[in-house]
């Protein structure tokens, strides 16, 4: 096949794959409603009023910074999107997910042009889809996506100039130095562990230039300084210390951090072993290739990304809790390490073997996509049915009685981690928690309580609600069949 035709064919496949990823994520976002903290984020933290303007949003974030958390950059989006129709978030979030895959691809390939490695792009997308233990919470849930997907996108996008410069130095003027300082502040201010992993990558990139006795440009220093400043603003927020006072550690200092370290290690063991195994295989193959060519330059960024990912993971030693959704940044950096090895491997036989492996992985992803689509769509149907019922009941209440009225409803339990509601609080048995109060305010009533938990049939899967329903049905059947006096 002529070179031009091969190039056009690859570009077409790459574009089709990117369009399919965007379309699929847009569909899942459209089917995902407001969940858990989304209701709380629709109201100003300082006044409790519905968010309607930018000044109101900024005052809410300032209050949040001083009272709860320093993560105000991502919260700007999480709260800001609640002021607009959800369709805007659906479009932006699908674009952010596709953008993360493209950024990972560019970090892997560097500044090489003229190639559309659709095989590498598909494997990156497969890793993002399969490895995350809380996919729905980090990529579909509005609050979670802004905190994790968007934070990972921002941190990794900030690494692109560093990746390009270490590959092929380029000249830059003072506007880039100023721009990188500002971008660094924002990137460092995104997420505690992901920004920490990014800082490790930046430091290693600067160190690699120093070891090779190459000049470190001014924009690198300003960018690194800005990132450190942003990270300090993130972790030294007064709200972090207020929240830390809620936790009581009765163990000794050594036991406390040993347990946290093992929690971090367990996250890798439970969820990231496929990624780590893939990196080990790809890195060894790349090492052999570098030995044959007597050039180890290609090993630099795979190692940088791996160390950054591990640093982001074990940075959670400093946190009393390590939720599964917090693995998004670390696992994304490890995915970048795998991709950086993959794109450098050459040889027709090896590429064919990778294509075969991609085809097999595609079957697994396809099955999981069908299951995820069913789970997300079924939850959406049940949620919309409940939402319509709650709105009808709330509309029938007299205005003077709405504030003291408590509606009775039911909770909905999904099955898979691809559904955004999986593992998140829904309507509960009491109305005292902040999320429940915000949900009640959303419907204009005093409270909403769940008297039961419902679910939907999902062959091959089960959950607590389904098992409880089966037991109740069995008990009812046995009671009906028992002889009566």
Q: Is 432's pLDDT higher than 80?
A: no
More confident: 229 or 7:
229
What residue numbers bound the domain in which 395 lies? 383-480
Q: Are residues 389 and 241 in the same domain?
A: no
Rounded Cα distance between 194 and 335, Å, is 13
Report residue 266's pLDDT band, with 50, 70 and 90 as the boundaries: very high
Distance of CA 124 to the CA centre of its chain: 15
Q: Are residues 467 and 422 in the same domain?
A: yes
Residues in the chain: 485
Q: Evaluate whether residue 371 is within a structural domain.
A: no
Domain count, the chain: 2
Rounded Cα distance between 338 and 340, Å, is 5
CA angle (423, 426, 432) in 5-degree steps:
120
Tokens matching residue 228: 């450190």
Rounded Cα distance between 56 and 228, Å, is 29
Distance of CA 382 to the CA centre of its chain: 25
17-65, pLDDT tens digit by residue?
999 999 999 999 999 999 999 999 999 999 889 999 999 999 999 999 9
434-459, pLDDT tens digit by residue?
788 888 899 999 899 998 999 999 98
Q: Is 249's pLDDT higher than 90?
A: no
Task: Evaluate the CA torsion angle 16, 18, 20, 22 in order and state its sign.
Answer: negative
- Nearest-CA neighbor of 99 among 74, 71, 121, 130? 121
Percent of the chain with pLDDT over 90: 67
35-48, pLDDT tens digit by residue?
999 999 999 999 88
Q: Evaluate whether residue 356 is within a structural domain.
A: no
CA angle (361, 362, 367) in 5-degree steps:
100
Q: Are residues 75 and 221 in the same domain?
A: yes
Q: Are residues 116 and 248 in the same domain?
A: yes
Question: Going by C-beta distance under 8 Å and a sequence separation of 6 or more, which residues neighbour residue 387?
Answer: 33
**What predicted TM-score, i.e. pTM, was given to this entire model?**
0.93
Q: Is 113's pLDDT higher than 70?
A: no
User: What does each C-alpha distance from 275 to 21, 104, 125, 204, 338 come to in angstroms?
Assistant: 21, 15, 13, 22, 7
Q: Evaluate whether residue 445 is within a structural domain.
A: yes
Pinpoint the alpha helices (H) of 33-159: 37-41, 54-67, 72-80, 86-109, 118-130, 135-139, 142-144, 150-158
Q: Are residues 432 and 287 in the same domain?
A: no
What's the pLDDT score for residue 24?
A: 97
Report residue 188's pLDDT band, with 50, 70 and 90 as the boundaries: very high
What's the pLDDT score for residue 244?
A: 61
Q: Evaluate whether residue 263 is within a structural domain.
A: yes
User: What does each C-alpha distance from 441 to 40, 50, 163, 392 come to in angstroms?
Assistant: 9, 10, 48, 15
Domain end position, chosen among 346, 366, 391: 346
Q: Is 256's pLDDT higher than 60?
A: yes
Q: Evaluate whether residue 355 is within a structural domain.
A: no
What's the pLDDT score for residue 247?
A: 59
124-150, pLDDT tens digit by residue?
999 999 999 999 999 999 999 999 999
Residue that the structure tokens 């809790």 belong to: 321
Contact 119, 358 (CB under 8 A): yes
Domain end position, chosen among 318, 346, 374: 346
What's the pLDDT score for residue 174?
A: 87
Q: Are residues 420 and 341 in the same domain?
A: no
Rounded CA Rg of the chain: 25
Rounded Cα distance between 322 and 84, Å, is 32
Q: Rounded mean pLDDT of 72-80? A: 95
283-327, pLDDT tens digit by residue?
999 999 988 888 878 899 999 999 999 999 999 999 888 999 999
Q: Are residues 299 and 447 in the same domain?
A: no
Q: Are residues 297 and 400 in the same domain?
A: no
User: What does each C-alpha distance from 191 to 110, 233, 315, 351, 377 come to in angstroms?
Assistant: 25, 11, 11, 36, 30
H/E run at residue 381: helix 348-395
Q: Is 276's pLDDT higher than 90?
A: yes
Rounded Cα distance between 181 and 397, Å, is 55
Q: What is the DSSP string of 12-23?
A: HHHHHHHHHHHH
What's the pLDDT score for residue 485?
A: 43
Q: Are residues 79 and 158 in the same domain?
A: yes
H/E run at residue 158: helix 150-158
Question: Going by C-beta distance under 8 Å and a sequence separation of 6 or more, which residues neighbour residue 361?
Answer: 123, 126, 130
More confident: 160 or 476:
160
Q: Are residues 338 and 205 in the same domain?
A: yes
Q: Is 246's pLDDT higher than 80?
A: no
450 forms beta bridges with 409
User: What 8-state DSSP symbol labels residue 298?
Assistant: G
Tokens matching residue 52: 């309607």
Q: Are residues 304 and 390 in the same domain?
A: no
- Nearest-CA neighbor of 413 among 449, 467, 476, 475? 467
Q: Evaluate whether residue 358 is within a structural domain.
A: no
Rounded Cα distance between 72 and 59, Å, is 11
Q: Is 115's pLDDT higher than 80?
A: no
Q: Evaluate whether residue 40 is within a structural domain.
A: yes
Q: Evaluate whether residue 370 is within a structural domain.
A: no
Tokens matching residue 140: 């579909």
What's the pLDDT score for residue 292?
A: 86
Rounded Cα distance between 328 and 152, Å, is 7
Domain end position, chosen among 346, 366, 394: 346
Contact 131, 274 (CB under 8 A): yes
CA angle (185, 187, 190) in 5-degree steps:
105
Report residue 359's pLDDT band, with 50, 70 and 90 as the boundaries: very high
Q: Rounded mean pLDDT of 325-337? A: 96
Q: Are residues 290 and 168 in the same domain?
A: yes
Tokens matching residue 213: 């006795």
Question: Going by C-beta distance under 8 Å and a sequence separation of 6 or more, which residues neighbour residue 419?
Answer: 136, 140, 372, 375, 376, 379
Contact 152, 328 (CB under 8 A): yes
450: three-class secondary structure by DSSP: strand
What's the pLDDT score for residue 482?
A: 65
């Amino acid at each position: 096949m002529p070179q031009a035709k091969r190039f056009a064919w690859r570009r077409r496949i790459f574009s089709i794959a990117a369009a399919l990823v965007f379309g699929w994520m847009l569909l899942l976002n459209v089917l995902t409603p407001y969940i858990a903290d989304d209701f709380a984020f629709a109201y100003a933290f300082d006044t409790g009023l519905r968010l309607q303007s930018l000044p109101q949003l900024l005052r809410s974030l300032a209050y949040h910074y001083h009272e709860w958390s320093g993560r105000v950059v991502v919260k700007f989006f999480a709260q800001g999107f609640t002021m607009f129709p959800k369709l805007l978030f659906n479009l932006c979030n699908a674009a952010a997910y596709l953008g993360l895959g493209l950024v990972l691809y560019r970090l892997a390939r560097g500044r090489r042009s003229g190639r559309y490695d659709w095989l590498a792009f598909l494997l990156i997308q497969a890793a993002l889809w399969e490895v995350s233990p809380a996919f729905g919470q980090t990529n579909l849930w509005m609050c979670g996506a802004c905190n994790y997907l968007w934070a990972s996108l921002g941190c990794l996008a900030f690494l692109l100039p560093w990746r390009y410069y270490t590959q092929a130095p380029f000249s830059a003027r003072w506007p880039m130095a100023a721009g990188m300082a500002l971008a660094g502040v924002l990137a460092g201010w995104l997420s505690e562990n992901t920004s920490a992993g990014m800082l490790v990558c930046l430091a290693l990139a600067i160190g690699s230039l120093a070891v090779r006795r190459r000049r470190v440009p001014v924009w690198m220093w300003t960018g690194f300084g800005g990132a450190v400043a942003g990270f300090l603003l993130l972790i030294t927020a007064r709200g972090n210390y207020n929240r830390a006072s809620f936790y009581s550690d009765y163990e000794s200092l050594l036991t406390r951090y040993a347990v946290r370290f093992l929690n971090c290690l367990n996250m890798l063991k439970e969820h990231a072993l496929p990624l780590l195994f893939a990196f080990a295989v790809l890195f060894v193959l790349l090492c052999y290739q570098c030995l044959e060519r007597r050039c180890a330059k290609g090993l630099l960024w795979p190692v940088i990304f791996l160390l950054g990912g591990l640093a982001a993971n074990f940075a959670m030693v400093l946190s009393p809790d390590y939720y599964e959704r917090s693995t998004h940044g670390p696992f994304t950096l490890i995915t970048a390490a795998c991709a950086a090895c993959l794109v450098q491997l050459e040889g027709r036989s090896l590429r064919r073997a990778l294509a075969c492996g991609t085809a097999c992985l595609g079957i697994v992803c396809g099955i999981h996509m069908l299951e995820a689509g069913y789970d997300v769509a079924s939850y959406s149907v049940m949620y919309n049915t409940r939402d319509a019922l709650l709105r009808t009941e709330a509309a029938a209440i007299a205005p003077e009685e709405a504030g003291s009225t408590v509606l009775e409803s039911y909770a909905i339990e999904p099955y898979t981690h691809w559904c955004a509601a999986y593992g998140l609080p829904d309507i509960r048995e009491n109305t005292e928690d902040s999320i429940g109060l915000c949900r009640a305010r959303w419907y204009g009533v005093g409270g909403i309580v769940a008297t039961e938990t419902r679910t939907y049939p999902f062959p091959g899967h089960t959950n607590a609600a389904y098992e409880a329903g089966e037991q109740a049905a069995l008990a009812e059947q046995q009671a009906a069949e028992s002889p009566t006096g």
